[in-house]
Amino acid sequence: MSKENICIIYGGKSAEHEVSILTAQNVINAVDLSKYCVDIIYITNDGEWIKGEHSIENHIEDVEQLRLKTNELTPISKLLESSINGQSYDAVFPLLHGPNGEDGTIQGLFEVLDIPYVGNGVLAASCSMDKLVMKHLFAHRGLPQLPYVSFLKSEYEKYKHNIQELIQNKLDYPVFVKPANLGSSVGISKCTNKEELISGIEEAFKFDRKLVIEQGVEAREIEVAVLGNDYPETTLPGELVKDVQFYDYKSKYKDGRVQLQIPADIDEETATTLRNMAVEAFKATDCSGLVRADFFLTEDNTIYINETNAMPGFTQYSMYPQLWENMNLSYTELITKLIELAIERFNNKKDIKYKID
């Protein structure tokens, strides 16, 4: 049986560049090389696209091997035109986090070039990336959320005092200050007073022009993995068990101070509700491929949806693959399934008419 050609794209012009490289190493080492010929494209921090000179044949032992270099840059469309063996790509697998990677921009490029790609489409990626737009869609779907305030940098510069008063009148401390368009906890601060709030806002504006300030709540953090296209499937919920008050970028990726409890210790009725809500969130943002839905669960079993992540952490030990591992779908099998879903979605779109006879 002939192998299919895929291209793994990673790196990116984003604050989550390093996370993307680590993810790429994990996926490359797990992909089924008996089924796929694998090319790689590295996007540098400056936005340059560099294609590997050879298809992947062995494990990547050192992440530094993935920081490709070249003296000759090739147009992006040419890099994606065909694989190293001369055949067109059956699918590309973008392992990009943050702006220009999971916000719909690179997905739009793949659409224009008519290339099948793993993960969410343009609309789903962009509205899942923008926390404010996502909240509007959740509200329309009737999903319960905690109170929040959102504003632009230009508005804050002009009405700083009024916005600070609005936050303190509408929300109770602690609050979480978040850039609207970043993931992996980059630029997020937990604030317990006005001084910390002002500092958190200033920090978050380094990463985005729009912020979301969310009400904090004493609750467990529960996550559900969703997989599929039109008929998505879900996992049993898992829980983040932390020995830190706030699950920031450092504790998430560097300190290892977060443990995953899979499945979460919750009753069957609550688990079913969470799984159903995860599907509702998936549909609310018109997702396909993969999504991780994140929830808060209070002591009295009240559920609030926090967010969906259209390109969740995807190292072998991240919550999303581990949730599927618990459902007897291995990391390698999960990667294969995602590629198959990408090709399925691409083939289904061929039935859409683009011109009038």
Q: Work out the pLDDT band at 286, boundaries 50, 70, 90.
A: very high
Q: In what order do the strands lie in the sheet with 189-191?
A: 148-152, 210-215, 175-179, 189-191
pLDDT at 350 over 90: no
pLDDT at 255 over 60: no
For 289: left if phi > 0, alpha if psi spans -120 to 50, otherwise beta; the answer is: left
pLDDT at 79 over 60: yes
Please give the sequence-ordered ranges of beta strands (E in DSSP) within 298-354, or none if there are none.
303-309
pTM over 0.85: yes
Please give the sequence-ordered ranges of beta strands (E in DSSP) within the chain, or none if there are none.
4-11, 36-43, 49-51, 91-95, 148-152, 175-179, 189-191, 210-215, 220-228, 233-234, 238-242, 258-261, 289-297, 303-309
Which residue carries 């995807």 as its tokens?
Answer: 314
pLDDT at 311 over 80: yes
Instruction: Report the pLDDT averaged over residues 231-257.
Output: 71
Q: Identify the pLDDT of residue 78.
A: 87
Cα dist. 327→30, 176, 235, 240, 261 in Å? 18, 33, 7, 18, 14
Q: Binding residue per annotation — 205?
A: no
Q: Binding residue per annotation — 217?
A: yes
Q: Binding residue per annotation — 178?
A: yes
Q: Which CATH architecture has domain 147-215?
A: 2-Layer Sandwich (3.30)
What size, in residues, is the chain? 357
Q: Give the pairing type, strands 258-261 and 289-297.
A: unpaired
Q: Which CATH architecture has domain 135-143+219-348?
A: 2-Layer Sandwich (3.30)
Q: How far is CA 163 from the centre of its chain?
A: 29
Cα dist. 30→26, 114, 135, 222, 227 in Å? 6, 27, 35, 26, 18
Averaged pLDDT of the chain: 91
Bigger pLDDT: 74 vs 231: 231
Q: Binding residue per annotation — 131?
A: yes
In this structure, the number of other CB atoms found within 10 A of the CB of residue 192 comes to 12
Q: Identify the pLDDT of residue 215.
A: 95
Q: Binding residue per annotation — 239?
A: no
Q: Work out the pLDDT band at 197, boundaries 50, 70, 90.
A: very high
Bigger pLDDT: 352 vs 153: 153
For the 4-117 domain, the top CATH level (class) is alpha beta
98-107, 193-202, 213-222, 225-234: the lowest-pLDDT one: 98-107
Taking alpha carbons only, the member of 92, 102, 79, 133 closest to residue 8 is 92
Instruction: Report the pLDDT averaged over residues 238-247.
Output: 73
Tens of pLDDT along 131-181?
999 999 999 999 999 999 999 999 999 999 999 999 999 999 999 999 988
Q: Binding residue per annotation — 185?
A: yes
| Residue 273: both structure tokens together | 């509700």
How far apart are alpha carbons 283 and 293 in whole angstroms? 12
Tens of pLDDT along 17-69?
999 999 999 999 999 999 999 999 999 999 999 999 888 988 999 999 999 98
Instruction: Report the pLDDT averaged over residues 2-19.
Output: 91
Taking alpha carbons only, the member of 248, 250, 278, 262 closest to residue 321 is 262
The residues that are catalytic are 16, 184, 318
Question: Where along the chain do its domains lie?
Answer: 4-117, 135-143+219-348, 147-215
Which secondary structure element, helix H or strand E, spans residue 251, and what is its range? Answer: helix 249-253
Judge whether 5 and 90 are in contact, CB under 8 Å: yes
Bigger pLDDT: 259 vs 196: 196
Q: In what order do the strands lie in the sheet with 36-43?
A: 49-51, 36-43, 4-11, 91-95
Q: Identify the pLDDT of residue 185.
A: 67
What φ, ψ does residue 142 adopt, rounded to 5°? 80, 20
